[in-house]
Structure 1
Amino acid sequence: MMDHQETLELLPAFADQELGIVEMQEVQRHLENCPDCQREYAAQRIVSARFKKDAVYFEAPLHLAHRINSALPAEAARARSWGFNWMNLGAAMAAGLALAWSAGLYLNLPSDQDRLTGEVVASHVRSLQVDHLSDVVSSDQHTVKPWFNGKLDFSPPVVDLAQQGFPLVGGRLDYLDGRPVAALVYRRARHPINLYIWPSNDRDQPPQLQNHQGYHLVRWTWDGMSYWTVSDLAANDLQNFVGLVRSTVRQ
């Protein structure tokens, strides 16, 4: 069984379909169970495709091949012909394996939505592990909202839901989907709730509930803003929180 380092060294040749059948199969088996090598292979394929796209190819004229074969002894010409046939067969099999693997890898790559879901949950968990829920600690929306001035290129809506059982704890800067975002922190009893907000060009979308790694998430888009909230709250409690945020923001 090919180990991790050997696979990494052979990935460029695997991407360019330059390996033998046995090595192709061993690399493919390793890739099936190694996310790190899968990502590296995907990167190698992109680089290879870019080089091939811009490369200039020259095809030898047919008369040159006839001249070479006619200059060889009869036995050597026949051997050369057989050799080319086996080489072509091997190249075709290798190309087929690489194509099948590439298609499988492409189909198994996470979508943009799946990737962002993972980012949101990771940010939520990270904020709990390092005890960094808030950069500004305050239950006053008039303290939290101005804190974001000059730190973001937009002004996030900050609502006070203490009377409804979801007191504001504070806010912080975070980074999601390739840009800085506002993270507002609320609580329900002992359960922290992260509410992420950033500008969006997408059309308005109603709330959508999902579960990821044991956490409930609700995402929606409204009036040029993307909202994502995540917590270990029960699903109905988190949906109640979302309804309160939406009704207050729309006022």
Structure 2
Amino acid sequence: MMCDDAGLLMHAYLDDELDAAGSAAMARHLGECAACKARYETYVIMQKALSEPSLYRRAPDALRARWTAPPARTTATPLPVRRRGPMVFAAAAGFAAAMLLSMPAWLHWLPSRGAGDEVVAEAISSHVRSLQGTHLMDVVSTDQHTVKPWFEGKLDFSPRVKDLAGEGFPLVGGRLDALEGHSVAALVYKRRLHVINLFQWPSEGGTAAQATAREHGYTVIRWSGDGMRYVAISDVNEGDLRQFVLAFQNEANPVMAR
């Protein structure tokens, strides 16, 4: 991907509007191009700052009363809309430019958020996006020996691929996705009518114990081990997802994609 292409897709990537392949391509480019990465990080910071609740204020009671009061009869000629429009747009543009130029001054507006919380938010976003249209699977198969070779040449690591049908979690396929700016392997399992996404990518740290979070009706369990990071997410109940994670961790003969 060239920088010009990345510039055209950057806002769509920021808003999670790209498909899995497009997201993975953008993630790879941002990992290789410092200029585009810096530009993207600026957009991320500005987006978060502009969405801060502290920017919004409740209208004064006197003004709210004027909104609800019957309109007063007047013969004054209203200001034409065409004269007000440019002023409004100019003010908005000026505000946006000031935000970009004075970034250090408004970084303190952003709420502190741990890295784990960011992973949870991205995992939920990717999970929901995967359920829309045909984004769920790039390779459709219940056979681990079909799913594992599909990743060959598409990733720079070897994801673990396991068949857990005997535990009640059949493998149904996989796809490429992106989390934290990394290209990741997403394995897709089922629990009755529920979809479970299992994301995995190389870990830069050691082993980390399970951490569980619940947001927007989804359960997210993340952990690290064997040089890999894992994030499992689904709308199944927490007990079922914990059972899935335990089954994946305890499978006697892990199959490694080569």
TM superposition score normalised by structure 1 = 0.61
Cα distance between partner residues in 1 of 2:123 and 2:252: 22
- Report the counterpart of residue 199 of structure 2 in structure 1: 196
Distance 1:13 1:135, change over 3 A: closer
- Report the counterpart of residue 218 of structure 1 in structure 2: 221
* 1:17-32 mapped onto 2 (5 Å cutoff): none
Structure with the larger helix share: 1
Amino acid at match of 1:167: P
CA contact (8 A) 1:185 1:194 kept: yes
Distance 1:10 1:219, change over 3 A: same
SS state of the match for residue 161, structure 2? coil
- Report the counterpart of residue 136 of structure 1 in structure 2: 139
**How far has the Cα of 1:117 moved from its partner?**
1.4
**How far has the Cα of 1:145 moved from its partner?**
0.7
Stretches of structure 2 lacking an aligned partner (at least 5 in a row): 1-87
CA contact (8 A) 2:194 2:236 kept: yes
List per-residue Cα deviations over 1:133-187 (Å, max 9, x = no partner). 1111111111101110000001101011001100000000011111110000000
CA contact (8 A) 1:159 1:249 kept: no
**How far has the Cα of 1:9 moved from its partner?**
1.2
Amino acid at match of 1:45: S
- Answer 1 or 2: higher relative contact order, Cα 8 Å, separation at least 6: 2
CA contact (8 A) 2:120 2:213 kept: no
Cα distance between partner residues in 1 of 2:179 and 2:128: 14
Cα distance between partner residues in 2 of 1:118 and 1:105: 21
CA contact (8 A) 1:170 1:186 kept: yes
Identity %: 46
Distance 1:217 1:48, change over 3 A: closer
CA contact (8 A) 2:234 2:241 kept: yes
Residues matched between the structures, number: 168
Cα distance between partner residues in 2 of 1:191 and 1:132: 16
SS state of the match for residue 187, structure 1? strand
Measured on the aligned residues, the alpha-carbon RMSD in Å equals: 2.6
List per-residue Cα deviations over 1:176-232 (Å, max 9, x = no partner). 111110000000000000000000111101111111221000000001100001000
Cα distance between partner residues in 2 of 1:10 and 1:187: 48
Cα distance between partner residues in 1 of 2:253 and 2:205: 18
SS state of the match for residue 163, structure 2? coil
SS state of the match for residue 129, structure 1? coil
Stretches of structure 1 lacking an aligned partner (at least 5 in a row): 16-43, 50-103
CA contact (8 A) 2:130 2:136 kept: yes
**How far has the Cα of 1:243 moved from its partner?**
0.4
SS state of the match for residue 108, structure 1? coil
* 1:135-154 mapped onto 2 (5 Å cutoff): 135-154=138-157
SS state of the match for residue 121, structure 2? helix
- Report the counterpart of residue 125 of structure 2 in structure 1: 122
TM superposition score normalised by structure 2 = 0.59
Larger radius of gyration: 1
Distance 1:9 1:191, change over 3 A: same
- Report the counterpart of residue 10 of structure 1 in structure 2: 95
- Report the counterpart of residue 25 of structure 1 in structure 2: none
